[in-house]
């Protein structure tokens, strides 16, 4: 019997973009893409692809389908999961997806999932590096009525069940759930594999399925934001750092204490 995994992925601004190249249009409340720095697949989503591929290696007849929504996809970027070993990719690319809030993203992805048919697991990165909200996976599980297992570092598939280790600050907890289920993974689930030359060549011959919002049964009115972004800006700091150097550590400590007393901090 076929085993089907859906992985949700997101194209994001490269989190390694230097601060000097990071700019915000405060009037439009939008990040301006940095010139010469291409976007990337969200890091936790690459971990999700890796987790899906490990399951595929252990279970025969497993299909991994990657889905995403957005605008202006860079195909060389978005096809990385295919070069890693994913089987299929479906993208909703539409101008109406330019400024989606988490709820609208959930609406589109759940419609895409319904269009794909039966599945056993949905695997998501635990959060995206652009907004760090971690809302979308929880929203998908809520709308589809799925068990949601979060912060997962290890996955084991049983007979109709999935068992996971979920990271905690002092170790991990073990949970078991019936399938279908939704899992969010962190970077402890495994380092994403590098695409091989063969994988890159195979991915070059695969064409992602491109859909509009109408193809999944939605229109622009369905994507009216329910979350309002009131302001977006790059914080500035006018703090000054004063370095006190004494003849030795004890003298430096004495000078610091005197300076703090002058400022009436102590």
Q: Is pLDDT above 80 for 58?
A: yes
pLDDT greater than 80 at residue 126: yes
Whether the predicted pLDDT of 136 surpasses 80: yes
Percent share of the chain, pLDDT over 90: 76
So where are the chain's domains?
3-223, 236-266
- Residue-level pLDDT at 266: 87
The answer to whether 35 and 21 have CB atoms below 8 angstroms apart is: yes
Which residue in the block uniquely carries the two structure tokens 């073990």?
Answer: 174
Mean pLDDT on 142-164:
96
Q: How many CB atoms lie within 10 A of CB 254?
A: 14
Is 3-223 a domain of CATH 3.40.50.620?
Answer: yes
- 1 compared with 3, residue with greater pLDDT: 3
Mean pLDDT confidence for 113-132: 94
Contact (Cβ atoms closer than 8 angstroms) between residue 50 and residue 84:
yes
Cβ neighbour number for residue 199 with a 10 Å cutoff: 17
Mean pLDDT of 63-84: 95
In the chain, the percentage of residues whose pLDDT exceeds 70 is 100
Please tell me which residue, 133 or 179, carries the higher pLDDT value: 179
Report the mean per-residue pLDDT for the chain. Answer: 93
pLDDT of residue 20: 83
In this structure, what token pair is assigned to residue 153?
Answer: 């570092």
Q: Does residue 114 contact residue 90 with C-beta atoms inside 8 Å?
A: no
pTM of the entire predicted model: 0.86
pLDDT in tens, 212-260: 999 999 999 999 988 888 888 888 877 788 888 889 999 999 999 998 9
């Amino acid at each position: 019997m076929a085993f089907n995994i859906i992985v949700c992925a997101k194209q994001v601004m490269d989190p390694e973009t230097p601060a000097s190249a990071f700019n915000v249009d405060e009037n439009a409340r939008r990040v301006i893409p940095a010139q010469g720095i291409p976007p990337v697949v969200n890091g936790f989503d690459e971990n999700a692809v890796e987790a899906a591929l490990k399951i595929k290696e252990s279970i025969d007849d497993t299909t991994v389908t990657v889905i995403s929504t957005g605008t202006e996809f860079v195909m060389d970027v978005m096809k990385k999961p295919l070069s890693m070993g994913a089987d299929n990719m479906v993208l909703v690319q539409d101008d109406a997806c330019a400024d989606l809030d988490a709820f609208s993203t959930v609406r589109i992805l759940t419609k895409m999932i319904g269009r794909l048919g039966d599945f056993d697991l949905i695997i998501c990165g635990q959060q995206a590096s652009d907004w760090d909200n971690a809302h979308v996976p929880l929203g998908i599980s809520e709308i589809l009525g799925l068990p949601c297992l979060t912060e997962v570092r290890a996955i084991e598939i049983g007979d109709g069940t999935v068992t996971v280790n979920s990271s905690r600050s002092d170790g991990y907890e073990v949970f078991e759930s019936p399938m279908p289920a939704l899992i969010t993974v962190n970077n402890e689930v495994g380092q994403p594999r590098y695409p091989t030359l063969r994988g890159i060549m195979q991915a070059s011959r695969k064409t992602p399925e491109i859909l509009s919002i109408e193809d999944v049964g939605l229109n622009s009115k369905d994507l009216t934001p329910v979350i309002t972004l009131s302001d977006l800006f790059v914080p500035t700091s006018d703090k000054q750092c004063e370095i006190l150097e004494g003849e030795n550590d004890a003298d430096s400590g004495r000078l610091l204490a005197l300076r703090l007393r002058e400022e009436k901090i102590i």
